[in-house]
Amino acid sequence: MFLFFIVSAILAGLIATSIGGIPILFIKERIHRRSFDIANGIAAGLMLAASIFSLLLPGFEIGGLVPIISGFLLGMLFILLLKDRIHVFYYKLRGKMRPTTMYRALIVFVAITLHNFPEGMAVGAAFASGSIALGIEVALAIGIQNIPEGFAVAAPLIAIGKYPRKKAFMFSILSGLVEPINAFVAYVLASTIRGLLPYFFGFCAGAMMFVVLNEMIPEAQHGEYFDISTIAILVGFITMFILDVSL
């Protein structure tokens, strides 16, 4: 079980996100805004579906309504407070109060890195439940949606013209590095205190859904490719739904 967990956590987080950033190293022409919106939309749809079908529903089956809702609200609050602190830090560091291209690129990187915290926890909690099948399902779901996220992190950094491609690729790797670490912490805690499992599932779902609805979807749909990004979101959602019911 533990070996399955370690391999799955690394594959789902670090390696999957890195795979998504690889195209950045080989695309020579300027990255079109549409490509970024599609990648971000697909990742958002996958995350929404993973939050519902791989976290909320299994958590409800394990612990019932109260623990899953409590954890969900805590996850929302955690991201809200942490996000606010990061915004304040950026303003103090840069001395700017108006949105800039660099600011938006930073927010995308921070948003995806933030939601990788609960994603890693989700993988750890799933394996801590004692079900290898559930653990692999959650790790697979997280890994698939991490691939377009790697691209979504690196693409805006390339677009602003201030980062070389190798450095943008390293940022995509960095955003996924937090997942295996948090997966291990969650696995140890949830294995030690079994009653925490449904709270972990709810926390991860609440945090992930808040990031998707508050950061990723608005970022993907703020430009002229609104309909295309909406289709990408729905494609990501239905893909994860098919994956979930097939496993």
pTM: 0.74
Distances (CA, A) of 160 to 33, 106, 110: 11, 11, 16
What angle in degrees, to the nearest 10, is found between the helix axes of 165-192 and 197-211?
Answer: 150
Dist CA 57 CA 41 (whole Å): 23
29 three-class SS: coil
Q: What is the mean pLDDT of residues 206-221?
A: 82
Q: How confident is the model at residue 231 (pLDDT cuts 50, 70, 90)?
A: very high
Q: What's the confidence (pLDDT) of residue 9?
A: 65
Dist CA 155 CA 210 (whole Å): 22
How big is the chain, counted in residues?
247
CA nearest neighbour of 13 among 134, 198, 145: 145
Write down the domain spans for the chain: 2-246
Dist CA 144 CA 13 (whole Å): 10
- N-term to C-term CA, the chain: 18
